[in-house]
Structure 1
Amino acid sequence: MEWNQIPLGPLQTNCYVLTNEKKECLIFDPGEESRKLSGFIEQKGLKPLAVILTHAHFDHIGAVDDIRDLFSIPVYIHDKEAVWLPDPALNGSHLFKIGKLIKARPADHIITGEQELSIGEFNFAILETPGHSPGSISLYFKEADLVVAGDALFSGSIGRTDLPGGNHQQLLESIHNKLLALPEETKVLPGHGPVTTIGQEMDSNPFLNGF
């Protein structure tokens, strides 16, 4: 499996495209700049199967409708944030005064609880990692040694918890109980900034010391 990190939008939110040997792909968090993202997919000759959202903050969902309509693919989101997609007050675009209100149509598939999920030939585990937001999830691909962590865990940092529904203690528990329980060699694909590993964050992340 191959993956590509594509920073999108004014906040440079990381969108990820995971691709298998058949050139099928999953798209995670298409935050903005749908033409940039679709151009990459078309240039590579990829066949998208689904959009999966780690959470529903505005900077992760801005291109959702464009991408799903262009490729005729479904969107997945956790049930605790299902109503956030069409609501700028919940997804944060109203709060941040970014110049436009971000709205997306409801998701096609609602994720409830932790589970193993298969889409095409992609098999992965859904980990509930709330704290940055109530419905934040991380997607763990065991065979590829990687986890798409959204805004839960960053290189040398953790997600902010001062937004509506955020909870600092809950985020720390999510990181320690779900993410740091993964093998140390697991690559962490975060919602912002560079890729890291579980081992690196266990050793050097100052926000996790003394928990």
Structure 2
Amino acid sequence: MKWERMPLGPIETNCYIVWNEGNKNEALIIDPGGDANKLSQWIESNTIQPIAILLTHTHFDHIGAVDDIRKKYSIPVYVHKEEEHWLNNPEMNGSAKYPMIPDLFVNKADKIIAGEKKMTIGSFTFEVLETPGHSPGSISFYFEEASIVFSGDALFLGSIGRTDLFGGNHQQLLHSIHNKLLPLPEETKVASGHGNLTTIAREMDSNPFLNGF
């Protein structure tokens, strides 16, 4: 399995493209936050074949290119049930909060994720971890064989997600990190919604927001 990080959209949210070379370059697109043309040009130039869009959560900076990419490649969008109504609600997805951001209305998701589970989409098998706190429906995607977790805005290099947006809960976020992410193998790479890559071991050792929980 290969993956690529591509900062997109108004605040350079990390979109991730995950693909399998041995299976017709099947790809999952995680959090296409904007710049649909830039993303599709990369996909075309690398002969990638998207088969689904996965959303870690539905804040505006993670969903800006969802409809364009979904339409272009005729692929389904997956979202957690707690946020299935956020996509077309600017108050919930946060776009109404910022005057410089147009109110964002995204069509409803095609597939609803309910509960923690192992999922198989095409040639990919991964685990869905419920990691609420940054938002009620925040989830992380753990690919055990590749030793990587796509954590959305739950856990960052040296930081954690903000909880002052609609539905945020600081204690819930800390609980999610300590009970769902930190128990992963220490060598697991953490691919966050913003910023650079880190590891579970590094955040256990040095993340100042996790001390004393």
TM-score (norm 1): 0.99
Secondary structure of the 1:94 match is helix
CA contact (8 A) 1:185 1:199 kept: yes
Q: Mean Cα displacement is larger for which, 88-97 or 28-37?
A: 88-97
Partner of 1:132: 134
User: Structure 2, unaligned stretches of length 5 or more?
Assistant: none
Structure 2: distance between partners of 1:96 and 1:113? 31
CA contact (8 A) 1:131 1:167 kept: yes
Provide Cα deviations, 1:54-111, integer angstroms capped at 9, x if missing partner.
0000000000000000000000000000000011111000012234111110000000
Structure 2: distance between partners of 1:210 and 1:76? 35
Structure 1: distance between partners of 2:165 and 2:2? 33
Partner of 1:16: 16
Counterparts in 2 of 1:33 and 1:208: CA distance versus 1, 3 Å: same
Provide Cα deviations, 1:99-124, integer angstroms capped at 9, x if missing partner.
41111100000000001100001000
Structure 1: distance between partners of 2:150 and 2:167? 21
Which of 190, 194, 199 pairs up with 1:197? 199
Which of 114, 117, 120 pairs up with 2:116? 114
Structure 1: distance between partners of 2:204 and 2:127? 21
Q: CA deviation at 1:13?
A: 0.2
CA RMSD of aligned residues (A): 0.6
Alignment-mate amino acid for residue 185 of structure 1:
E
- 1:153 matched to 2:155? The reply is yes
Q: Mean Cα displacement is larger for which, 17-26 or 166-175?
A: 17-26
Aligned-pair identity (%): 63
User: Structure 1, unaligned stretches of length 5 or more?
Assistant: none
TM-score (norm 2): 0.98
CA contact (8 A) 1:62 1:103 kept: no
Number of equivalences: 211
Partner of 1:168: 170
Structure 1: distance between partners of 2:49 and 2:62? 21
Partner of 1:141: 143
Secondary structure of the 1:84 match is coil
